[in-house]
Every structure is written in C-alpha cells, then in structure tokens.
C-alpha cells in the first residue's frame, strides 16, 4: 500500500470508530472550512495593513440610526466614516465594507 492509501485507510477507520461512514469526506469538509477561514483571516489582515499604512487616519463611529441612500434609492446604515491621506472615503454598510470600499478607491 502506498502512503496515500494508508492515510485514507486510517481516516476511514477513525471515522468508523466515531460512528461515521465516510471520514474522507469529513476531512475534505474540514480542509475546505479551514481554507475558507484562512481566506477570511487574510482579508482581515489586508484591511489592518491598509489602515496601518494610512497617513492622518480618522476612523469615526457614527451614531445610530444613520441612514444613507444609494443611487438606486435603497437605504443603508452607515456605522463608520474613514478619512485618510487627505480625503474622506465613501461610506458603506458596516466597518469591513467601508474599509473595503476605501481600499478599492486607491
């Protein structure tokens, strides 16, 4: 048996012992979940690096409710305003979305 087949057999046996029928799929699901978590953490790290690198950054929390209207007429609640590098960035719904929008304006 090659190493991959041994690993698969061990995973299946562990899954069987846990009362599951297909440990390989469980492992694949776990890997997919971890990859998704890594992607989200990487995006958070990118936001942090962007904020840290701004000059004259002001990040202001807005009192609620603070409703703004989009071009299409729908409304959204602005939670934060970002000013940096001599300009005020367009607000968005939620802090992450506001930072993402400001990063996109580069």
**Residue 22 reports pLDDT greater than 50:** no
47, 103 in Cβ contact below 8 A? yes
What is the average pLDDT across 15-36?
70
d(CA 90, CA 97): 10
pLDDT tens per residue across span 72-98: 999 989 999 999 999 999 889 999 999
What is the average pLDDT across 53-74?
91
**Residue 1 reports pLDDT greater than 90:** no
d(CA 34, CA 27): 10
Residue 95: the pLDDT is 93
């Amino acid at each position: 048996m090659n190493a991959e087949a041994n690993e698969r057999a061990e995973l299946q046996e562990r899954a069987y012992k846990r009362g599951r029928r297909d440990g390989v799929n469980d492992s694949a699901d776990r890997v997919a979940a971890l990859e998704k978590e890594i992607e989200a953490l990487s995006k958070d790290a990118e936001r942090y690096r962007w904020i840290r690198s701004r000059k004259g950054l002001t990040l202001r929390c807005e009192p609620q409710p603070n409703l703004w209207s989009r071009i299409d007429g729908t409304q959204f609640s602005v939670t934060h305003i970002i000013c940096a590098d001599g300009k005020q960035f367009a607000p968005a719904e939620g802090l992450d979305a506001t930072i993402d929008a400001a990063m996109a304006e580069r």
